[in-house]
């Protein structure tokens, strides 16, 4: 049976750090590119995207490796990967990455549609806000899950600490890239081009997300900080050139 109550409690707990992060962003200075009320609204949208993902995550966990979608992914790729990654683990990681990026992408797309803006900086900004909100809410879900499973205090601290540093940074990167590409889709006059760019943004975010998680849980976790640093550098370069 799906523990909807657990998802709700975890999501509510996740909102607390989300509000703290938002307060820190707002206190960081005036933002000409986005009014504070709009920032709060889009941040809340990012919080909401974590709830359906939490439900799907519990459903996948309950079905184990017998999910139709998971079995389809395993049939496509067939062989286990290097670094101790089994095909079941890969399929689960890929599916969850897609679900997370899909719901975040819907929120980013809705924000861009509502504001009617096509500039790259706005797209990156929306992506960062929604990615940050999703990450801190998801961290709350993991935190409650660890407590509910009876994990030790040291393990809970390690999980929360690593997720707040690594996972939050990673989600900001995924969503910022998606927001940047989706903003470019709005500037295109060709509908086929719009759709192609939007799907490409989802594919890129899902691919990076999956690879990041596989590095984290496999034998190459030492590369994770380098991947995060590279992501922020690339975003910084894109952001800098777009302002010129």
pLDDT tens-digit readout, 6-58: 555 555 555 565 566 566 555 655 454 556 677 778 888 888 888 888 777 66
Q: How big is the CA angle at 232 (ends 230 and 235), to the nearest 5 degrees?
A: 110
Q: What pLDDT score was predicted for residue 100?
A: 92
Structure tokens at 28: 């960081």
Percent of the chain with pLDDT over 70: 60
CB under 8 Å to 56, separation ≥6 — which residues? Answer: 96, 99
pLDDT tens-digit readout, 201-220: 999 999 999 988 888 777 77
- Cα(45)–Cα(66) distance, integer angstroms: 32
**Which band of pLDDT confidence, cut at 50, 70 and 90, is reported for residue 69?**
low
Burial label, 46 (beta-carbon count in 10 A; 0-12, 13-18, 19+): buried
Please say whether the beta carbons of 95 and 108 come within 8 A: no
pLDDT tens-digit readout, 215-237: 877 777 778 888 888 888 888 88
Place of tokens 């975040």: 104
pLDDT tens-digit readout, 103-150: 999 999 999 988 877 788 888 889 988 998 888 777 776 766 666 666
Pick from 101, 231, 37: nearest CA to 239: 231
Structure tokens at 3: 């523990």
Please say whether the beta carbons of 10 and 140 come within 8 A: yes
Q: What pLDDT score was predicted for residue 1?
A: 43
Structure tokens at 115: 């504001």
Please say whether the beta carbons of 235 and 176 come within 8 A: yes
DSSP SS3 for 35: coil
How far lies 68's CA from each of 60, 65, 210, in Å? 10, 9, 19
- Residue 241 phi/psi, 5-degree rounding, is -70, -35
Q: What pLDDT score was predicted for residue 2?
A: 42
Percent of the chain with pLDDT over 90: 16
Please say whether the beta carbons of 131 and 172 come within 8 A: yes
pLDDT at 98 over 50: yes
Global pTM reads 0.76
- Cα(95)–Cα(57) distance, integer angstroms: 9
Q: What pLDDT score was predicted for residue 182?
A: 92
């Amino acid at each position: 049976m799906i523990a909807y109550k657990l998802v709700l409690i975890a999501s509510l707990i996740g909102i607390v750090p989300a509000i703290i992060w938002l307060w820190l962003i707002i206190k960081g200075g005036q933002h000409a590119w986005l009014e504070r009320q709009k920032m709060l609204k889009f941040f809340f949208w990012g919080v909401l995207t974590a709830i359906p993902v939490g439900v799907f995550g519990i459903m996948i966990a309950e079905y184990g490796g017998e999910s139709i979608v998971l079995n389809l992914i395993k049939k496509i790729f067939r062989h286990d990967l290097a670094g101790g990654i089994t095909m079941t683990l890969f399929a689960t990681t890929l599916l969850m990455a897609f679900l997370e990026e899909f719901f975040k992408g819907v929120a980013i797309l809705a924000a861009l549609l509502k504001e009617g803006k096509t500039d790259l900086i706005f797209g990156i900004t929306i992506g960062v806000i929604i990615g940050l909100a999703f990450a801190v809410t998801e961290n709350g879900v993991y935190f409650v899950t660890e407590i509910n499973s009876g994990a030790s205090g040291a393990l809970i601290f390690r999980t929360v600490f690593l997720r707040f540093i690594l996972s939050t940074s990673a989600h900001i990167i995924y969503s910022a890239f998606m927001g940047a590409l989706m903003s470019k889709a709005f500037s295109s006059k060709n509908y086929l081009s719009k759709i192609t760019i939007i799907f490409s943004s989802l594919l890129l975010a899902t691919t990076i997300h999956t690879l990041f998680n596989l590095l984290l849980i496999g034998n190459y976790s030492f590369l994770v900080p380098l991947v995060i640093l590279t992501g922020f550098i690339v975003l910084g370069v894109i952001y800098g050139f777009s302002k010129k």
